[in-house]
Structure 1
Amino acid sequence: MFVGQSVLATPLAVDNSSSGLEKRFSILSGQWDSESEGSGRYTLYNNLWGQSYDTSGKQSTQATSYSGTTLAWKTTYSWAGSSSQVKSYADVTLNTGLGKQLSAISSIPSTWKWSYTSASSSLIADVSYDLWLSNSASGTGSSSTSTYEIMIWLSSRGGAGPAGSQIGTATVGGRSWKLYKGTVSTWTVYSFVATSEITSYSGDLKAFFTYLSSSQGLSTSQYLVAAQAGTEPFVGSATLTTSAYTISVN
């Protein structure tokens, strides 16, 4: 869930000569640090929106490569505090192809390959897409203009669970998902939670909207205004490494 601010803090430059990372990428360690990637196609956010629930916690996020439309990045964190409170959502946000009605979108192809290179036994976290709808093309995610939030959880470690309660199961894209429905602030949240962890995903995210339209009455006149992918840690420490991520809205 993206609950960040629009403030773009200046990221900390780093000498990557010893790590093999290209010097053009910066370490994002501040609460609202962000960096434009791929000539503006994506924005990478550190996004410590729940930092106040563990002021001693820490997190850093960094892009590691970009080629074509494919971004690689990693985030390392350590969080304590309440095990039911999300502390952050390090994420990649798409900046192109948005503001379209669902009826005008033919496909939303995406590939996401990721892994935990280290994770504590106490880790409670999810790895998820976060897609936002609005009644207006000018709407934004996680705001008063939001009408629906669609989350797609590829991973749920340590008993992490989404907003609301389970209302059924769904088969989308040839995979089985637990479907949850809830309310956050003023918008409705639908969450598809994979029944087993998916570390290499490739599919058409439009299929999730098609499912909700047919089974839950979601109107195709809604506008897709934000598309994000990242991780929500509750407690624990880990490094989550994305080796390849790409998404487009057609």
Structure 2
Amino acid sequence: MRSRRTPAGRTGRRLPVLVAAAASLLLAAASMLTGAPPASAAPVTDCTQWGTTELRGGEYVYQQNEWNSEARQCVEADPATGAWSVTDASFALPTNGAPATYPASYRGCHWGACTTDSGLPLRVAELGSVRTNWSTTQVASGAYNVAMDIWFDSAPVTDGQPDGTELMIWMNHRGGVQPIGARTATVQLDGRNWDVWTGPGASGWKVISYVLQNGATELTDFDVKGLIDDGVTRGAINPAHYLIDAEAGFEIWQGGQGLGMNEFAFEASARSGGTAGALKAQYKNNDAAPGDNRIGPGLRLVNTGTAPVDLSDVTVRDRFSGESGATAYGTSCDYAVLGCSTVTHRVQPASAAGPGADHYLEAGFGGGTPAAGATTGEIQLHLNKADRSAFDETDDYSRTTGASFTDAPKVTVHADGALVWGTAP
């Protein structure tokens, strides 16, 4: 049983590929990818290490991606339907290290090369629907997984290793292989039971893997967004990051011949209209003394979307440490461009406290609809302990020392209680 992939594993296989753009019709989301295929083309056989083949008019790309081996791997791909199969492979690597290869189809932006009409990238907090049809042929020998690899990045497109999270969906596996990290939970999503594995990748990025209990050979109209939402809730995926790419194939350690992709279809779309997911928080320190009896953050929200956002169900949380013995707090709004009468404020104990974050100052809104590209303007709040004793702000989770507004990933924004910006401790 392997415990994690080796460092070469997660850096070696993410090599850039060049994709020629080709016009094609976007498949109807309501029917989940059932449009007419492009004109038929002869099957393509590829036995190279890094070969790629455009599928379905460029909407998808097949990649050989033999990143940890130089043994022979041949695949026959049908450019019209997107189906492919491994026709020659006999890998023989130990299962306690990295796989030899990850032949896969992908859709989206992969190392800066984007397929046509994918709808990606999309900011996680703005996702409306993410679904897949995924059907495979599996064999009863060898050591491999059947894995979808979904990548998130802080920027819409990157030509290097994504700096966000790698989400893996293990539809099946055999031969004693297991995901990176350790099993940390079990969850039911879309009517199925999944083991959740979490751990760092070779270069430190976050990895969260969902392993389907009892396995399957296909997932039909499967709700991928349910897994993404679960990853956000667990703090593994930053809602301000972008979903840039989805890949589906087989990580193979041993054997491999006979494995095949019958269908891989992936559709992602944004919510309609302006959503709170387009909001980000900015912070400045209005009270530079870290040891007085007052905490005075300056906060504002920025609408990064393309439509106005209603703030009526939005809250902002600035996390701090109340130190031992503090039980009650007073809060006040000193100034707000929106008007202090429209801003609510209170201190709440954190349900899952982290270092420097056993309480949070929460601001809400009784009005306000910032336009696309606009801000709420500054909101100046302060809080005190009821006994007016001093704080030690040096370890407070959300605090920064800057006197001008900057993006604040440790100040969280919530819509109807759901996290849409920032990272909670």
Normalised by the length of structure 1, the TM-score is 0.83
The correspondence of residues 109-124 of structure 1 with structure 2, limited to 5 A, is 109-116=131-138, 118-120=139-141, 123-124=142-143
Output the CA distance in 2 between the equivalents of 1:191 and 1:217: 10
The correspondence of residues 45-194 of structure 1 with structure 2, limited to 5 A, is 45-51=63-69, 55=70, 57-64=71-78, 66-67=80-81, 71-76=82-87, 77-84=89-96, 85-94=98-107, 95=115, 96-116=118-138, 118-120=139-141, 123-139=142-158, 143-184=160-201, 185-194=203-212
TM-aligned CA deviation for residue 65 of structure 1 = 5.9
Pair 1:105–1:135, CA change in 2 (3 A): same
Output the CA distance in 2 between the equivalents of 1:249 and 1:41: 13
Q: What secondary structure is seen at the aligned counterpart in 1 of 2:145?
A: strand
Amino acid at match of 1:209: I
TM-aligned CA deviation for residue 7 of structure 1 = 4.6
**Percent identity, aligned pairs only?**
24
Output the CA distance in 2 between the equivalents of 1:167 and 1:192: 11
Partner of 1:18: none
Output the CA distance in 1 between the equivalents of 2:154 and 2:266: 23
TM-aligned CA deviation for residue 132 of structure 1 = 0.2
TM-aligned CA deviation for residue 119 of structure 1 = 4.1
Residue 226 (structure 1) aligned with residue 237 (structure 2): no
Task: Compare the two structures and name the one with the higher strand fraction.
Answer: 1
Residue 6 (structure 1) aligned with residue 19 (structure 2): no
Q: What secondary structure is seen at the aligned counterpart in 2 of 1:248?
A: strand
TM-aligned CA deviation for residue 28 of structure 1 = 1.6
Gaps of 5+ in 1: 10-21
Pair 1:190–1:201, CA change in 2 (3 A): same
TM-aligned CA deviation for residue 144 of structure 1 = 3.8
Residue 211 (structure 1) aligned with residue 225 (structure 2): no
Amino acid at match of 1:145: P
TM-aligned CA deviation for residue 217 of structure 1 = 5.8
Output the CA distance in 2 between the equivalents of 1:78 and 1:151: 24
Normalised by the length of structure 2, the TM-score is 0.50
Partner of 2:303: none
Pair 1:33–1:235, CA change in 2 (3 A): same
Identify which of 165, 184, 197 aligns with 2:215: 197
Output the CA distance in 1 between the equivalents of 2:134 and 2:51: 23
Output the CA distance in 2 between the equivalents of 1:111 and 1:192: 17
Paired residues in the alignment total 226
Output the CA distance in 2 between the equivalents of 1:6 and 1:25: 24
Q: What secondary structure is seen at the aligned counterpart in 1 of 2:195?
A: strand
Q: What secondary structure is seen at the aligned counterpart in 1 of 2:80?
A: strand
- For the aligned residue pairs, the C-alpha RMSD in angstroms reads 2.1
Output the CA distance in 2 between the equivalents of 1:148 and 1:231: 20
Amino acid at match of 1:212: G
TM-aligned CA deviation for residue 218 of structure 1 = 3.0
Q: Choose 1 or 2 for highest CA Rg.
A: 2
Post-superposition Cα deviations, 1:85-105, rounded to whole Å, max 9, x if no partner, equal 300000001022111101222
Q: What secondary structure is seen at the aligned counterpart in 2 of 1:171?
A: strand
TM-aligned CA deviation for residue 82 of structure 1 = 2.5
CA contact (8 A) 2:56 2:79 kept: no
CA contact (8 A) 1:119 1:237 kept: no
Identify which of 48, 52, 55 aligns with 1:30: 48
Q: What secondary structure is seen at the aligned counterpart in 2 of 1:109?
A: strand
CA contact (8 A) 1:43 1:92 kept: yes
TM-aligned CA deviation for residue 114 of structure 1 = 1.2
Post-superposition Cα deviations, 1:218-248, rounded to whole Å, max 9, x if no partner, equal 3321101111000001122431122222111
Amino acid at match of 1:177: W
Post-superposition Cα deviations, 1:74-124, rounded to whole Å, max 9, x if no partner, equal 1242101323230000000102211110122211121111122x443xx11
Gaps of 5+ in 2: 1-9, 20-39, 108-114, 270-425
